Amino acid sequence: MHSLIRVIAACTLVLTASSFRNERNPFPDTLALLEPPDGQVYHGACTMTYASTADPLAGYLGALNDPAIQPAVRGLFFSVPGERGPDNGFRGLKTFFHTADSVGFIPEISLFFMDTRGSTDSIIAVTDTYDWILDSIISLTKAYGGKSFLRIGGEFNGAGPGWNGGGYHPYYYVTMFRKIVDKYDAAGLRDSIAFNWCYEPDAANDFDSVDQRGPRWYPGDDYVDWFGLDVFNSEHFDQALPDSDRRGITKKGKSERFLAMARAKKKPVFMSETSAKGINISSDPQDGINDWNTWFAKFWEFIAVHPEIKGFSYINANWPIGAYPGWGDARIENSPYVTAKYQEEMRKPRYINL
């Protein structure tokens, strides 16, 4: 297990996942829970890869092929109550925490709220129907004992087919988010869980809207530790693109406005879901160069010019064509060129690895 190494002569800090996972924040007076100092970014990977292998991250970890650059954060999805009930989710979460304990990565749990009929955020907000599921998740988290991230209802204001059972409900979402945080607080876990409020720029531009009923989406500074931003298309983050055009604010402009809100509130940002959408990474050498320049180089630039971004998780998936038409194959191991460049990027001192 790695530990925080103080390099006194150089007056720098070499940070690894366990520096934050099992110890108190080394900068508790100035930074949020699990937040690294400026200039440091968590390297993470999401386990939702649609892979048929026993380990959904086998392809990604194999492509990295270096114990020094393994992801410091791993993400797991859990739906409440889910389309088939929570039993498989409980088993998966228990295994996930056990793996986190043995491997040493920081867990990130993403809670989604839906069943076969649609989204369930409004039900959770005003009833106790699914409280037993939340309480069971909290019990498993408490048994784990380490620090972790919790993303509550990611991509909160996306609406329509494909978005969280059709979309969450304004105002009710805020009530639900606060209720869940209060539950963790009541269980004595408020100082162990970093709560993430996550936006995706294909959604509406109303994330900060407040009216006579209160905030439509933002739970409040006391309830949010980290802002979250999911990006897939390069138009979400390409720095060469405008923030607005004749039609109004662009998707890149919405990303920038959300990040500006994070800076104003002094909140770090974790990008829980990132994937090279529409790129179709292949083994062709020239295609690999084009893929790198079209998506990955722009993605790293986006991180570099936004110091508030302090973590990302990559989804290394061959996206199913039925559920995600046009998303394509985002697996880095398909291209020797992309793999080598990705390894090179992760070896930079900016990134916190396992």
User: Tokens 């931003």 map to which residue?
Assistant: 229
What would the pLDDT profile of 199-221 be if each residue is shown by its tens digit?
999 999 999 999 999 999 999 99
Return the exposure string of 253-280: e unless at least 16 CB atoms fall within 10 Å of the residue's CB, then b. Answer: bbbbbbbebbeeeebbbbbbbbbbbebb
pLDDT, tens digit (0-9, with 9 covering 90-100), for 216-229: 999 999 999 999 99
Torsion sign across C-alpha atoms 336, 341, 344, 348: negative
pLDDT of the residue at 24: 46
Q: What is the pLDDT of residues 306-329, one digit of tens each?
A: 999 999 999 999 999 999 999 999
CA distance linking residue 352 with residue 150, whole number of Å: 19
pTM comes to 0.93
Residue with tokens 């509550």: 152
In this prediction, what percent of the chain has a pLDDT beyond 90?
89
| Residue partners of 215: CB distance under 8 A and separation at least 6 | 171, 174, 208, 209
Give the residue among 217, 218, 114 at the shortest CA–CA distance from 166. Answer: 114
Reference 47, options 63, 59, 30, 31; nearest CA is: 59
Strand partners, 65: none
171 or 14, higher pLDDT: 171
The reported pLDDT for the residue numbered 7 is 31
Query: Is 163 or 349 the better-scoring residue by pLDDT?
Result: 349
Domains, the chain, in order of start with CATH, read: 37-352 (3.20.20.80)
pLDDT reported for residue 14: 53
d(CA 256, CA 305): 11
What is the reported pLDDT for 22? 55
> Can you give the pLDDT at residue 238?
99
Q: Which residue has the higher pLDDT, 349 or 22?
A: 349
- pLDDT over 90 (residue 20): no
Q: Is the pLDDT of residue 99 over 80?
A: yes
The residue-averaged pLDDT of 260-275 equals 99
